[in-house]
Homo-oligomer: A and B are copies of this chain.
Amino acid sequence: MSSHEELQRFALAEFASAGYTGTSIQRIAELAGLSKSSVLYHFTSKEALLEATVGPAIDRLEALMAELEVRGLSPDYRNQFLEQFVDFLFDCRQEVHMFINQGPSLQDVPVIERANNTVRNLAEFFSSSTAHPHDKMRFGIALGGSAYMLCTADNLAVPLEANQDTRSALITIMSELLAPVRSS
């Protein structure tokens, strides 16, 4: 694996666990067995390293969100969106953990601002898809809860295997929470 890719991997892990401001370039260099100068050779700045690290995940989330806005929450697409969303969470746990937890504190970083906007759009979309405050909350718990649990399960004592059972269970639960209310 090239130094470039290795640096991104170590940076992502550190950014997610220790936080962006809590991670020094020196620390990333040590993890990769390089000098601080080498890190700044591959990436022009700490911010550029962050961008390269979480950019692709944000692209993917943006694409997901764009399709959702086009196709809406039609019953046949709803499940497809859920599957894609859950797969995204599984594939990009660390990235999601980053801009979910540190998004607000890194507003001035362009790439994070992009993530914040997308997450905000997602929240608005589901929030405006129902008039009932009770359902707004259900949606919030479904989206936020699944994302949060997937990203932090590693830190807790509850291991979370990324197998097919976990995936389908998560989709089922989210589907229940996102189901339209019968009455209220």
Q: Which A residues are within 8 Å of any B CB, using their own CB?
A: 17-22, 100-105, 119-120, 123-124, 127, 133-134, 136-138, 140-142, 144-149, 152-153, 155-158, 165-166, 169-170, 172-173, 177
Contact = CB atoms under 8 A, between A and B. Distances in A.
A43 B127 CA distance: 42
Given A19-B22, A21-B22, A140 B120 contact: no
Contact of A137 (B134, B156, B166): B166
B103 A157 contact: no
Nearest to A174: B141
Contact of A165 (B21, B133, B152, B169): B133
A90 to B, nearest CB: 13
Stoichiometry, as copies per complex, reads 2
A148 B157 CA distance: 18
B136 A140 contact: no
A157 B21 contact: no
Given A127-B157, A156-B119, A137 B169 contact: yes
A61 to B, nearest CB: 15
